[in-house]
Amino acid sequence: MAEATAAGLQSAWALPLRLRDTTIGSLNLLRAAPGILTDDDLVAAQALADVATNGLRQQRAAEDARFLSDQLQTALDSRVAIEQAKGVLAERANLSMGDGFDALREYARNSNLRLTDVERTVANRDVELVDRIIANTD
């Protein structure tokens, strides 16, 4: 309070930023003159608070959309790597696609590795790893 007064501020108000029934922040108004807000000031301040609320809502929606897009891209990339790895094993070891996936999963478990790491390495045609997985299927 002393710092605000030293800076020349004489009055302060806070208007809630509400999204439905939830307060997501506040718009703080600081003024160099003492006294209350006029009705016109309050209407203008509430309009600013509403604009700020909409801006925050849109920013959150954009972040949510980006997050979902990133999740979907990761899932798609993983699916592509799975299919490529299964294809490599099917071709090299004459396995069915289902058996190729089972071999990948079993190797990852037995080696304490993440399945996605094993799939990507096999999809990149790491011959040494492919041979170890094939040897595991015998």
The token duo for 84 is 């490529």
The model carries a pTM of: 0.60
Q: Poorest-confidence range of 28-32, 70-74, 129-133?
A: 129-133
CA 73 to chain centre: 12
Predicted local distance difference test score (pLDDT) of residue 44: 95
* Residue 119: Cβ within 10 Å count: 24
pLDDT tens sequence across 53-89: 999 999 999 999 999 999 999 999 988 989 999 998 8
Per-residue confidence band for 134, with pLDDT thresholds at 50, 70 and 90: confident
The pLDDT of residue 84 is 92
